[in-house]
Chain A
Amino acid sequence: MMAEQAVPAEPQLAAQWARVRGRLQQEVGDVEYRTWLRQMTLVGLHGDEITVTLPSRFLRDWVRSHYGDRLSTLWQAENRRVRRVELRFGGLTLVGSQPPAEEAANGPALAESASPPAPVAEVARGEVARGEAGRGEERAERAVDGGLLDPRFSFDSFVVGKPNEFAYACARRVADAPASHGFNPLFLYGGVGLGKTHLMNAIAWDLTDSARPGGPVSVAYMSAEKFMYRFIAAIRSKSTMEFKEELRSVDVLMIDDLQFLIGKDTTQEEFFHTFNALVDAGKQIVVSADKSPSDLSGLEERVRTRLGCGMVADLHATTYELRISILEAKAARAGVPVPQKVLEFLAHKITSNVRELEGALNRLIAHANLFGRAVTLEATQEVLHDILKAHDRRVTIEEIQRRVSEHWNIRLTDMSSARRARAVARPRQVAMYLAKQLTSRSLPEIGRKFGNRDHTTVMHAVSRVAELMAVDSSFAEDVELLRRMLES
C-alpha cells in the first residue's frame, strides 16, 4: 500500500512532490523506497523551504543522512523557489496534512501481508472471531446461559472410534432424551484434549436446536472457572439469589472441567446445592472432568458419590486408526488437499491427544492458506518444527569444523593450518561459510577460530562458496547435506 499523500495547498506542489518521489523511487529501487521513504509526507512550501515530515525521529534522521541531498536536488529541479528541504519528525500541522490513519498506526510493520489485512472487527463479547482453518463448517452462532457454543463442535464433526465410542453413545442418548433413568448425571472424563468439550458442546447444540423433536430445551453450559467467576461476581454484587434462581430454572446444566472447582470450597458448596436442587427437580446434569469421580481427590465424599451415581463414561487415548480418521475428516472439511503421507506422518508423530493433532493440522492448513503454498511433507516439517523437535540446535564452530573435516576426510587440524592446497582449502571455506550461516559469531571471530585468519578471508570464503553452489549442483548438495546434519 502506498501512503496516500495529503493534498498540499497548491495542487502544483502536489504534482511536483509526486514527481520527486517517483524519481527517488526509480533511483533507489522499490525495496529501499518502501523501507525508508514511503512514509514521507509533504507539509508545504514556506518561503524557500520545503517541509517534509516522517513519522519517527529515526526515519527522519535516516532519510536526512542518506537521501537528504538527493531530495534537495530533485526539489530544486522541480521548483526554482525551493532552496532547502526541511525534514521534520511528526505530522506537525501547518497545512492540515496527516498521514492516513492506518499507515501511521502500522507503519511498515504489519502492512506487507500476503493480502490486505483483514479489518479487525469490534469483537464484542458474543461474537466469534476465531479463525478456523477449515472455513465453511461455521454455523450461525448460538448462545446458551453461560456463553457461546463452539461452532466447530457438533456430533457430526466428532470422529468416532474404539477409544471414544461409548462416551459418544452416552452423549447422544442424553441429547436425545435428557434426564433418562441411569443417565443422570452424565459424567464424562478423560485426559486432556480427547474430546470432552467437543461432546459437551455437541450435546448443547442438539438440545437447543429449534428443529429438535419436542422442541428446544433451556441449557446452562459453562466451564467450572466460569461458574466460579460468576458466583464470585454474584457475591460481590450481592445478587447470589438471582444467580441461584437463574441456574435452577434451566432444564439442563452442563459444567466443563469440574476439577478446577477442587479446593474452592464455597464455590464447590454452591455447585453441590444447585446440583441437588436440579436432580431433585428431575433436570439433567452433565459434567466433565479429567478423572473419574472416585479419583477426584479433594472433592467431598458426598459430592463424589452423587456425581458417580448416574452414567460415568470415559474417553481413552487415541489409537493410530482413530487419529488417521480424525485427520482425514478434518482435512476433508477444510477443503485443502493434504497428501495421505502428511496425515500418516502426523498420526505417527503426534500421539498425545486430539487437540494437539487437530492443532497441528490446523496450523498446516492456515499456513498453506496464508502463504498460498501446498501442504507437503517438507512444508509440514518446516512449519511444525517447534513441536517436532525438542529444541533448535545451537551449532558451534568446532562442531562445524569437525563435521566438515569428516565429510571430506581431512584432518581437523587443517581447519586452522596454513596449508593452501585446494583439497584442504575448499573444505575450510565451506566450514567458514557454514559458521557464518549457522552461528551468530562475528566474522573476525570466525577468522580467529580458523587459525587466526583475517575477517576478509572469511568474507572471501563465504562469497566463493555461494558462487560455487550456484554453478555446481553436486557441491551445493554437499553443503546443504552438511547444513542439515549440523542442524538436526
Chain B
Amino acid sequence: MKFKADRATLLRALAHVQSVVEKRNTIPILANVMIAVRDGKLTLTATDMEIAVVEDVAAATSRNGACTAPASTLYEIVRKLPDGAEVELDCPGGDAQLALRAGRYATSLVVLPTEDFPSMTAGTLPHKFALPAHTLRALIDRTRFAISTEETRYYLNGIYLHAGESDGVPVLRAVATDGHRLARVEEPLPEGAASMPGVIVPRKTINELRKLLDEVTSDVEVALSDTRIQFRVGAITLTSKLIDGTFPEYERVIPRDNDKVLRVGKKDFSDAVARVAAISSERSRPVKLSLARDLLVLSASSPEQGTATEELDGDRVKYESGPLEIGFQARYLNDITDQITDQVEFRFADGAAPTVVQDAADSSALYVLMPMRV
C-alpha cells in the first residue's frame, strides 16, 4: 500500500474515523484505523464493533494493499504537520512498519495484521431511502436530549425511528425517552421508508452521525435491516448495529385530553425558570408552577436559602382554566424550551399526570413531561 494525500484532506478523514475508535479499549486492534488502497482507491476504516465508519479519501495511490495503524497517534501526527503539506504513507506489507513522510519529516508506526481487524458486515439492508441532511438534523436535535443515559435500560439508550402516520399523512418519526420525559418529532416520510421496521439507533451512533451532518448539505442515504443501519453522508459510510430491544408503546403515554392550556413566551419562561431554580444547587429540585387565570407563578425553595418566586401575568401568559399546581425538574423544563423558538404551549391535566409541551407555531415536535410529586 502506498499513496500521497493532501494533509488537510487526510486530517479531516482521520478526524472522522478516529472519533469512533474507543479511547479506552482493551483490544489493541480496535484502537487502529485500517488504511487500504484497492483498485487505486484509498479508504480509511475504524470500528468499535458496534459502529464502523468507512471513508473514501482522495489520494494519489501508487500501490494496492492494506495495513492497520494506531488511529489517534496517526491523527496527532498529521494534525501537527504544516498546512498544505503532502503526506506519503507507505506500508510494504508483512511485518514491516508503516512509513510516513511529509517534506523532511519521516516516521514509522507499528502495524497490526489486517486479518485481525474486525469486519462489520452489514448483511442485506432491504429498506432504503434518502432524506435531506437538515431533516435528519431536525429529527436528531429535537429528540437527542431525552435519550436515557441509564445503561441498564438499553432499549431507551437510543432514538426510535419508525414510519407512522399523523392525521392521515405518512411521517418518519424519531422518538426518545428516559422514562421521565419523551420527545417525538416527525418529518414527511421519505420515499421508500414506508415499509421500514421500527428501529432503535444507539446514542453513540446518533452522536457520530450528528457530527458528520454539519459538513454536508446534500441528501443522506439511509439503508437498514432489523439489526443494522447504514448512513451514507458524502464520502463517508457509517454502519451501526441497532439496539436489540423493544421500544415501549409510547403513544399510550401521550395524553389526548389535557385541556388546561398555558401559553407563554419561551424567553420569559425559561429565564424565569433559571432565576427561581438558581436558589438551589440540587439538580432534581422542582420548580413549581402555580396557575390561575392569566397568571403564572414560578417558585422554588431550598432548605438553606429559602424561597424564590417570579410572577408572569396577563401581559405575558395566557391561561383560561382553573387553578393548578404542578412541579417539574428545572433542567427538564429547560431542555424542552431550548427546542422552542417563540411561544410555548403547555397542556396539563393535573399535578400528577403527563403534561404535553409543544412549540405553539410548530406541531412537528411534541414533548411529554412527567411532573414531580411535590
Contact = CB atoms under 8 A, between A and B. Distances in A.
Q: Do A and B come from one complex?
A: yes
Interface of A: 46-49, 57, 83, 88-90, 92, 94
Contacts of B121: 46-47, 49
A83 B118 CA distance: 10
Nearest to A94: B123
B244 A89 contact: yes
B118 A92 contact: no
Q: Which of B226, B244, B245, B246 has the most CB of A within 10 A?
A: B244
Contacts of A46: 121, 123
A46 B121 CA distance: 7
- Main secondary structure, interface of B, reads loop
Nearest to A87: B244
B364 interface: no
A57 B154 CA distance: 13
Contacts of B226: 90, 92
A88 B227 contact: yes
A49 B227 CA distance: 14
Interface string B237-252: 0000000111000000
B119 interface: yes
Contacts of A92: 226-227
Instruction: Say what secondary structure dominates the interface of chain A.
Output: loop
A87 to B, nearest CB: 10
Contacts, number: 19
A48 B115 CA distance: 11
B118 A88 contact: no
A48 B119 CA distance: 8
B119 A47 contact: yes
B244 A88 contact: yes
B294 to A, nearest CB: 51
Contacts of B246: 57
Given A46-B121, A88-B227, A94-B123, 13 more contacts: A46-B123, A47-B118, A47-B119, A48-B118, A49-B121, A57-B245, A57-B246, A83-B118, A88-B244, A89-B244, A92-B226, A92-B227, A94-B124
Closest 3 CB pairs of A and B: A47-B119, A46-B121, A47-B121
B159 to A, nearest CB: 21
Interface in B226-264: 226-227, 244-246
A481 B58 CA distance: 89
B32 to A, nearest CB: 16
Contacts of A89: 244
Contacts of B244: 88-89
A305 B118 CA distance: 93
A94 B123 CA distance: 8
B153 to A, nearest CB: 14
Nearest to B49: A84
A92 B228 CA distance: 12
Contacts of A94: 123-124
Contacts of A57: 245-246
Contacts of A83: 118
A212 to B, nearest CB: 64
Contacts of B119: 47-48
A49 B245 CA distance: 20
B191 to A, nearest CB: 25
Contacts of A49: 121
B68 to A, nearest CB: 15
Contacts of A88: 227, 244
19 contacts: A46-B121, A46-B123, A47-B118, A47-B119, A47-B121, A48-B118, A48-B119, A49-B121, A57-B245, A57-B246, A83-B118, A88-B227, A88-B244, A89-B244, A90-B226, A92-B226, A92-B227, A94-B123, A94-B124
A89 B244 CA distance: 8
Contacts of A48: 118-119
Nearest to A86: B227
A6 to B, nearest CB: 18
A48 B118 CA distance: 8
B125 to A, nearest CB: 12
Contacts of A47: 118-119, 121
A88 B246 CA distance: 13
Contacts of B123: 46, 94
B242 to A, nearest CB: 12
A46 B124 CA distance: 12
Interface string B48-83: 000000000000000000000000000000000000
Nearest to B120: A47
A92 B123 CA distance: 12
A83 B117 CA distance: 12
A57 B246 CA distance: 10
B308 to A, nearest CB: 48
Interface string B110-149: 0000000011010110000000000000000000000000
A57 B119 CA distance: 26
A65 to B, nearest CB: 13
Contacts of B227: 88, 92
A75 B121 CA distance: 20
Nearest to A92: B226
A265 B115 CA distance: 87
A344 to B, nearest CB: 59
A7 to B, nearest CB: 20
A312 to B, nearest CB: 62
A88 to B, nearest CB: 7
Nearest to B225: A92
A220 B156 CA distance: 65
A92 B227 CA distance: 9
A206 B310 CA distance: 94
Interface string B192-205: 00000000000000
B227 to A, nearest CB: 7
B117 to A, nearest CB: 11
A120 B244 CA distance: 36
